Amino acid sequence: MKIFHQLNWFFRQQWRQYFGGVLALVLVAICNVIPARVVGQVVDAISTHRITGQWLTFMILIMLVAAACQYLLRFAWQKLIYGSSYVLERQLRGRLFNHYLRMDPTFYQKWRIGDLMAHATNDVEAVREVASYGILTLADSLITGGSMIIAMGMFVNWRLTVLTLVPLPLLVLLANRLGNKIHDAYSTAQAAFGDLNNKTQESISGMRVLKALGDEQADQQDFRRYVDRAYQTNKRAYFWDALFNPATTLIMGLAYIIAIGVGGLMVNQHQITIGQLVTMMTYLGELVWPLFAIGTLFNTLERGRASYDRIEKLLAEENQWQPGTAQSQLAFPSQLKVDLDKFAYQGHGKPVLENVHFQVKPGEMVGIVGPTGSGKSTLLRLLVRDFDNYHGKITFGNQEIRQIPHDQYLTQLSYVPQTNFLFSTSIQDNLRFANVQAPFAQVEQSATQAAIADDIQQMPQQYQTQVGQQGMSLSGGQKQRVAIGRALLKAAPLLILDDPLSAVDAQTATLIERNLQDHHDQSVVMVTSRLSTVQHADWVIVMDHGTIVQQGAPHQLATEPGWFKETLAVQERRQRLEADLNE
């Protein structure tokens, strides 16, 4: 019953609906007492030859009225109790989704997507069952069972009632023994379901890679292992659950034997009438549902408790962002200044960034280049506050960014990550994702600046073209340019680009670079592997092994010995060779 205590906050919130639903159940139970009592009286009237047509019509009318009342009251409790449970489902899903939005990247490194999906679907559904079917079975079994027992004692014989109920305590002992086993089994089954979700999501997302490598058969065998584990854990959970209902049937069978045996003797001894025995058997038949309900109740409660424990564990996770305490507004135009002493990923002792110091003045474009693995993208992730656990200080608008409320800071920047993500909607909606009220003229302008407008015009539905799951209907270069257009349309003071032109040809990249230079009201920090991209930047930073090894104006670095000069010469030779081959 611990789950009811855990959901106490919700029951207090919806107490009127649940009170009305339970009241309707009480009235249903009262109505349920009437037919058995009427049948017993009719049987006695028949056996003593006292029945009349008028009296029988009256008895039938009473049963019809009771049936009509039951119909209306059953509708009432279903609407009130089940309707309230869907409020709980909506609230839990909303809390989970809001929690997902608030969490930092370390959370998503710890929790896999399949697990998060399982929490928001399967686990929430199991908890909702507690607030609907669980409340119904608990209340109905107690109310119906209690009313039947009281009616048996009042209208039949209290000694026979007590003897008939002797086997019922066995049900409590059985429920106590099996309850913990059912809970543990369902916890394991839910975890296996999460693992299966993860595997399914991973395989579908990587389907093109699997096919390209011809690895479908191996992945299929791996998938079967996850399915088999989910099957075995659910099979074990249902094994423990299946032990309860047959035991309930056995206990009810013992109660029937006592009722028939002892009740028959009492009829012969004229302690009760044949009609009362019929009434007794009818009431005993009405007890079958409460007893079976108790069996399914423990199943529902233990499954719901296991799921709610998983949800609470997830919601208890805290993000690693430092809470902003700055009260003053950011100064505009804003200067970005980086004084980073050291940063290491959580769980890794070795720093990935050390002694990184530079500044970006308002309206400047700063390029960051360097060999693979030099820490360029990691530096950008600190600028967008993916991580706050670094030594040093990063200021924007004369305020340390960790002191600025996270939501407020993110409104001041636009970010194009290295891995572009497009939503399964139209190109237009993707472009104005961060500025949904932007007029169509601004959408077109941002598309033009990102050099994607001509491509869009050639599509059958133009800006209303659906991009598909993660933009699968677009090429890599088109996805990059849509992402750039989306960032430009936001028009934030700080634009951060992580190798945004890696899939774009040199001519198109040059056009986009010129368009970026026209944004004099925006500061731009851009990581790139193509050095021609930063030829017109105001400042260039060269990184290697997590630190700055060179920095200066592009023309200055092009003449100084070092990585920039050497790599630029190699790339220029490659471009000339490609141009000669194309002629």
* Mean pLDDT calculated for residue range 136-162: 80
Residues 6+ apart with CB under 8 A from 521: 333, 363, 493
Question: With pLDDT > 90 as the criterion, what percentage of the chain qualifies?
Answer: 0
For 349, what's the count of Cα atoms within 13 Å in the CB-facing half-sphere?
Answer: 0
**In this predicted model, what pLDDT tens digit does every residue of 27-65 receive, in sequence order?**
888 887 787 777 777 777 777 777 777 878 888 888 888
Which CA distances in Å does 418 have to 64, 72, 252, 496? 72, 61, 66, 11
Q: What pLDDT does residue 582 have? A: 57
List all residues 6 or more positions away from 456 whose beta carbon is below 8 Å from its beta carbon. 427, 447, 462, 463, 465
CB atoms within 10 A of CB 76: 17
Q: Dump pLDDT digits (tens) for 115-125.
A: 787 788 878 88
Cα 377 to chain centroid distance, Å, stands at 28
pLDDT at 583 over 60: no
Mean pLDDT lowest among 92-101, 188-197, 374-383, 553-562: 188-197
CA distance 10 to 16: 11
- Check whether domain 2-315 has CATH 1.20.1560.10, yes or no: yes
Mean pLDDT confidence for 246-251? 75
Kindly state the tokens that stand for 259: 């009722």
What pLDDT does 558 receive?
A: 83
Question: What is the band of 454 on the pLDDT scale with cuts at 50, 70, 90?
Answer: confident
Instruction: Please give the C-alpha separations between residue 302 and each of 37, 130, 386, 522, 551, in angstroms, as whole numbers.
Output: 37, 9, 38, 56, 62
- Region 301-323 average pLDDT: 79
Asked if 45 and 278 count as a contact pair (C-beta separation under 8 A), the reply is no
Query: Which pLDDT score is estimated for 395?
Result: 86
Q: What is the CATH code for 336-582?
A: 3.40.50.300
Check pLDDT > 70 for residue 69: yes
Give tens-digit pLDDT for 164-206.
Answer: 878 777 766 776 666 667 767 777 887 787 777 777 777 766 6
- 2-315 and 336-582 share one fold: no
Q: Which amino acid is at 471?
A: G
Name which residue leads in pLDDT, 390 or 215.
390
Distance between CA atoms of residues 554 and 579, nearest Å: 23
**3 state SS of 121:** helix
Residues ≥6 apart with Cβ < 8 Å to 253: none
- Percent of the chain with pLDDT strictly greater than 70: 89
- What confidence score (pLDDT) does residue 33 get? 78
Q: pLDDT-based confidence at 311, cuts 50/70/90? A: confident
From edge to edge, which strands make up the β-sheet containing 390-396? 353-360, 336-343, 390-396, 399-400
Check if the beta carbon of residue 366 is closer than 8 Å to that of residue 524: yes
Query: What average pLDDT does the chain have?
Result: 80
pLDDT of 328 > 60? The answer is: no
**pLDDT at site 219:** 75
Specify the pLDDT at position 287: 74
Residue with tokens 């360097």: 370
**Residue 307, both tokens:** 């799921």
Measured distance CA(145)–CA(139) in Å, rounded: 10
Report helix, strand or coil for 318: coil
pLDDT in the model for residue 255: 80
Average pLDDT over residues 249-258: 80
Q: Do 123 and 311 contact (CB within 8 A), yes or no?
A: yes
Domain residue ranges in the chain:
2-315, 336-582
Non-local CB neighbours of 392 within 8 Å, separated by 6+ positions: 338, 339, 340, 341, 342, 343, 356
Place of tokens 């040809």: 505
- For residue 88, give the 3-state DSSP assignment: helix
In this predicted structure, the answer to whether residue 209 has a pLDDT above a threshold of 70 is no
Q: Which two tokens stand for residue 291?
A: 């007893």
pLDDT digits (tens, 9 = 90+) for 355-401: 888 888 888 888 888 888 888 888 888 888 888 888 888 888 778 88
Judged against a pLDDT cut of 80, whether residue 556 lies above it is answered with: yes
